[in-house]
Structure 1
């Protein structure tokens, strides 16, 4: 059986099974190639033999993190903040009921925008424009968890995880007609309830929440 490991990856803490040519110890920092692209992750454990056949494979564990990887990853936060600001400005200029609350760069030139929409919208032209403007493949991680649609958007608008444009609807397709004359998606109240915050308020809220989660992670005792 091909060696594999359960790896936690992405800012949202996704966990997936990745095949590997060698064993890696728990807590090892590694580089994986998965549905979101090439990115860093942390090894959790090897899946037990009885569970492995039931686990789908997210991709391949490429290597342990190198000095070059660390140098590139360290440069991401400043660039991500710049891209997040530019993406929100572009969405506002287009008049879309959509805001981005976080941004993630991968090692193979993908930009994953964490987005929230409070009304039905078609953001496909926006993502095409951002991809050209940034020189990156821009994808959407849809935080609104909208219902799936019959016709998924092109791969460039989705990072491939549950809730993204290709499987969870996404703002690039949430205005799709359901077939009964009614538009389905964010307008069905799956995105938000009550008063809708502005883009700036949402961005500030999630930035603060992210900082609290990171501080909590620093003091958390790992399970052995």
Structure 2
């Protein structure tokens, strides 16, 4: 039995005119469908104009408002009785009498006094100290110191050695102390003070 020869199947692409033919047919079908749809559109119907209808409406007359009633105003209250305030008249206090002017102090010319007389007028009279150096050397002596006093204030203005005690240390101690003395104003003007230095101290 003879065998049939099987021929191989070879794929051959369709020619190009097939593609263009199919594309043209599709476009033709689409254009026909669009034309048919436009023909079936309903034509506009022109209706005759309708005459306007007039509706008569009857308005109710407005209600008349009654005039406002005259409301009497209340009478104002009577003014209160205002009593005049009592004003107390104050008499100014009496002026104090003019102070009597104090008479100016007129210094009294005082005479020179001794120490025994001037002691009664002395306000501040410290005792001269005994210097340590003079005490160490046992220096002693007596002398006279004269002081000048301002009669107006009583302060000593000057102190001088009238009679030396015998040592400058003792003289200086006595003079520096007597310059600080004070007397009653107008009591004395000059005082002579005799002074003695011993081992127990100064005495006058």
- Same fold, judged at TM 0.5 (above): no
Q: Which has the higher helix share?
A: 1
Given the two structures, how large is their TM-score scaled by the length of structure 2?
0.20
Given the two structures, how large is their TM-score scaled by the length of structure 1?
0.19
Q: Which is higher, the Rg of structure 1 or of structure 2?
A: 2
